[in-house]
């Protein structure tokens, strides 16, 4: 073989696997992107001006922009400069028809990630980005190339190895002038695997729609029997296709990365004050402790003093002598203050742990998840996470706040979904999941019997049925026909950071053998859970009922 002959490798990009909904609808795939480029160092100087003006007229591009990019490319000794990053079909056809007269310009093709529904389920699907130089040092051994794509968040990140595929290429022999001599063989690239989610696009679409007029919030739709997530939406959101752009406009970049609204933040997995949706935990703590058995009745009052503060009933009157079911139905504060204060912080903390609070939910996209906070006497003794040990004691005011889900309780919508699923399914803690790739999610470990008396769970369930029949959640039935019986709970929580209320509504249906659970959350939306969160859940139930 001549010393002047050389072997070159022409790499062929793998096609990343698709992400599909439960019915096979494509949520993420790959498409070919066509870019208009010039190679500044090899441009014919004599024809440049003529070609520049021709392409300017043909594709309606300012000739000054073309000239600027050309000069910058020469100055920086770039091998190629992109004039238009992503040609549309009309531009591509026009160029192809006139290519013989535009020798200074070329079309470059590249496979990019494509999201047909743009921002739909953005926090679940996640996005890809090119690997960095520092990452390449240790990813090269795994078959990654420079500027290769890698999943950064969501399903794209968690199932990177499953989705990405493998590079292929052709070995060719060239002579000393770099001209092709012969092919020495090819290795085709291997396409990545498709991955099917538990998401139902019909429910996802309505979940995104009902959040549109809210400043911020989250929706979770889940099967309470096994934890399969049917929809997960977070507002504000972002267009996943932004990350497929080679050139990212500063305005768009700032809107995603530097906005105080934090659109990349998955609110379905972030912790907030739960307000009255927490009262099921206090109820179960009272029942499990034995201090407030099933037949308990307590006198509710306009307000009850704990420490230096009088904690009010939300109607400022009280509801008379009531038991657990009616306390949940009317969402009495003073009933649960009395239960919480008597059983104590650690009993509530223990029951909360059994229901999945103060721990990660087990969902695949746990890199986005917040563990939350459920206070305990030990937590206070150790400094509450910010003070000196022994100098931040547990206060009477704390237990009153904790009893109704305020201040010393911060939980995520996904944790609320798990806890209410345990009420809906008769006492099993399920693992929320977005795919069925991992067989572990289908095993017994994904559905654990919790150590709480089934009679106590049934009593709480009866109260949640009453909430919807004649209590704070009764409007779920207004203007709706043929909806199966629903059980649920409204919640209004004061945000300790801003003072603005959060609105919550959790429900499951049919109330007897439940198939669907909805958590609706509107962040910093004063007016109450029945006003702002319940209507969102109602729209989801209507679509689900119609499709089933």
In a domain, 26, yes or no: no
Nearest to 379 by CA among 367, 366, 390, 369: 390
- Are 79 and 142 part of one and the same domain? no
Q: What confidence tier does 492 reach under pLDDT thresholds 50, 70, 90? A: very high
Measured CA distances, 510 to 144, 396, 412, 487, 514 (Å)? 49, 39, 24, 8, 5
Residues 46 and 5 in one domain: no
In a domain, 187, yes or no: yes
In a domain, 282, yes or no: yes
Cα 325–chain centre separation: 34
Q: Are 428 and 316 contained in the same domain?
A: yes
Between residues 34 and 296, the one the model is more confident about: 296
Instruction: List the one residue out of 32, 28, 35 whose CA is nearest residue 12.
Output: 32
Mean pLDDT of the chain: 90
Q: What is the average pLDDT across 437-444?
A: 51
More confident residue, 101 or 204: 204
pLDDT recorded at residue 514: 95
Same domain, 233 and 321: yes
> What gap in Å lies between CA 52 and CA 55, rounded to an integer?
5
Residue at which a domain ends, from 137, 164, 197: 197
Find the domain containing 12 and state its range.
1-16+126-197
Q: Is the whole-model pTM more than 0.85?
A: yes
Residues 405 and 529 in one domain: yes
Tell me how far CA of residue 376 lies from CA of 212, 381, 397, 406, 500, in angstroms: 37, 9, 14, 14, 26
Bridge partner list, 409: 374
- Higher per-residue confidence, 122 vs 494: 122
What does the alpha-carbon distance between residue 81 and residue 538 come to, in Å, rounded to a whole number? Answer: 53
Q: Are strands 26-38 and 303-306 parallel, antiparallel or unpaired?
A: unpaired
- The pLDDT-based confidence of 51 (bands split at 50, 70, 90) is confident
Same domain for 402 and 365?
Answer: yes
Which of 171, 197, 223 is at the close of a domain? 197
85 and 186 in a common domain: no
* pLDDT value of residue 437: 55
What's the whole-number mean pLDDT along residues 500-525? 95
pLDDT of residue 52: 87
pLDDT at 187: 84
Quote the number of domains for the chain: 3
Query: Which is nearest to 245 in space by CA: 106, 85, 66, 80?
Result: 85
* φ, ψ (nearest 5 deg) of residue 216: -160, 155
Judge if the upstream peptide bond of residue 358 is cis by omega within 30 degrees of 0. no
Give the span between the Cα atoms of 228 and 199, in whole angstroms: 8
- Residues sharing a CB contact under 8 Å with residue 443, sequence separation 6 or more, in sequence order: none
pLDDT value at residue 340: 96
Report which of residues 396 and 440 the model is more confident about: 396
Same domain, 253 and 388: yes
Q: Which of 178, 197, 216 is the last residue of a domain?
A: 197
Reply yes or no on whether the pLDDT at 442 is more than 80.
no
Distance from CA of residue 403 to its chain's centroid? Answer: 29
Query: Per the domain annotation, does 30 fall within a domain?
Result: no
Range of weakest confidence among 93-97, 266-270, 452-456 = 93-97
**Separation of CA 100 from chain center:** 49
| 444 and 377 together in one domain | yes
Q: Which of 157-166, 259-268, 354-363, 437-446 shows the lowest mean pLDDT across its residues?
A: 437-446
Check residue 443 and give its pLDDT: 53
Q: Is the pLDDT of residue 491 over 90?
A: yes
Mean of pLDDT values over 109-121: 91
- Residue 479 gets the label, from left (phi > 0), alpha (psi -120 to 50) or beta, of left
Q: What is the pLDDT of residue 441?
A: 45
Residues 261 and 133 in one domain: no
Task: Specify whether 217 is located in the same domain as 136.
Answer: no
CATH number at residue 248: 3.40.710.10
- The answer to the question of residue 448 being in a domain is yes
User: Do 290 and 418 lie in a common domain?
Assistant: yes
Mean pLDDT of 428-450: 76
Bridge-based pairing state of the strands 81-84 and 26-38: antiparallel
**Banded model confidence at residue 178, pLDDT cuts 50, 70, 90:** low
Q: Is residue 24 part of a domain?
A: no
- Segment 446-459 shows an average pLDDT of 94
pLDDT of 243 strictly over 60: yes
Question: What's the rounded mean pLDDT across residues 172-177?
Answer: 73
Please report whether residue 23 resides in a domain.
no
pLDDT exceeds 60 at position 189: yes
Please write the tens of the pLDDT for every residue from 384-412.
888 888 888 888 899 999 999 998 999 99
For residue 2, is pLDDT > 80? no
Cα distance between the two ends of the chain: 71
Nearest to 471 by CA among 312, 298, 315, 326: 326
The pLDDT confidence band at residue 60, using thresholds 50, 70 and 90, is: confident
**520: in domain:** yes
Domain with 165 in it: what CATH number? 3.90.1310.10
Give the least confident one: 3-17, 155-169, 179-193, 487-501.
Answer: 3-17
Tokens of 22: 């439960």
More confident residue, 208 or 183: 208
């Amino acid at each position: 073989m001549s010393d002047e002959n050389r072997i070159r490798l022409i790499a062929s990009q793998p096609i990343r696997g698709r992400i599909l909904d439960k019915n096979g609808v494509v949520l993420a795939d790959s498409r070919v992107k066509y870019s208009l480029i010039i190679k500044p160092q090899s441009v014919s100087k004599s024809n440049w001006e003529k070609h520049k003006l021709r392409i300017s007229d043909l594709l309606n591009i300012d000739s000054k922009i073309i000239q600027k990019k050309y000069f910058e490319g020469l100055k920086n000794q770039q091998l190629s400069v992109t004039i238009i990053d992503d040609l549309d079909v009309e531009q591509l056809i026009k160029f192809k028809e006139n290519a013989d007269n535009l020798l200074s310009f070329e079309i470059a093709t590249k496979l990019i990630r494509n999201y047909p529904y743009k921002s739909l389920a953005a926090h679940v699907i996640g996005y890809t980005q090119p690997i960095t130089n520092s990452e390449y040092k240790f990813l090269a051994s795994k078959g990654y190339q420079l500027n290769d794509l890698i999943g950064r968040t969501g399903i794209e990140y968690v199932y990177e190895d499953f989705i990405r595929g493998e590079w292929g290429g052709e070995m060719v022999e060239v002579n000393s002038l770099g001209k092709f001599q012969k092919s020495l063989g090819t290795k085709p690239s291997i396409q990545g695997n498709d991955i099917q989610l538990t998401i139902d696009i019909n429910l996802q679409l309505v979940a995104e729609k009902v959040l549109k007029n809210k400043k911020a919030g989250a929706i979770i739709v889940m099967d309470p029997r096994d934890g399969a997530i049917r929809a997960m939406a977070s507002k504000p959101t972002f267009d996943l296709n932004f990350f497929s752009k080679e050139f990212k406009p500063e305005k768009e970049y700032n809107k995603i990365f530097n906005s105080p609204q934090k659109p990349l933040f998955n609110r379905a997995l972030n912790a907030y004050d739960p307000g009255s949706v927490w009262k099921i935990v206090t109820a179960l703590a009272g029942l499990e402790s034995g201090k407030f058995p099933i037949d308990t009745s307590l006198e509710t009052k306009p307000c009850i003093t704990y420490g230096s503060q009088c904690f009010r009933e939300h109607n400022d009157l009280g509801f008379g002598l009531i038991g657990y079911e009616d306390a949940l139905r009317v969402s009495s504060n003073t009933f649960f203050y009395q239960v919480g204060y008597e059983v104590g912080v650690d009993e509530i903390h223990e029951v909360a742990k059994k229901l999945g609070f103060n721990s990660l939910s087990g969902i695949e996209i746990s890199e986005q998840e917040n563990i939350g906070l459920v206070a305990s006497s030990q937590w206070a003794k150790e400094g509450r996470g910010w003070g000196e040990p022994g100098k931040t004691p547990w206060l009477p005011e704390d237990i009153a706040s904790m009893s109704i889900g305020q201040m010393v309780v911060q939980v995520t919508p996904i944790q609320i979904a798990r806890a209410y699923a345990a009420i809906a399914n008769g006492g099993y803690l399920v693992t929320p999941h977005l795919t069925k790739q991992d067989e572990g999610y289908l095993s017994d470990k994904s559905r654990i019997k919790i150590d709480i008396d089934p009679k106590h769970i049934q009593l709480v369930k009866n109260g949640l049925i009453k909430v919807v029949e004649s209590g704070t959640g009764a409007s779920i039935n207004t203007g709706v026909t043929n909806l199966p019986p629903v059980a649920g709970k409204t919640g209004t929580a004061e945000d300790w950071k801003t003072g603005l209320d959060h609105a919550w509504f959790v429900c499951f249906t049919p109330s007897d053998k439940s198939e669907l659970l909805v958590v609706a959350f509107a962040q910093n939306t004063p007016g109450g859970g029945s006003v702002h969160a319940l209507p969102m859940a109602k729209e989801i139930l209507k679509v689900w009922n119609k499709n089933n």
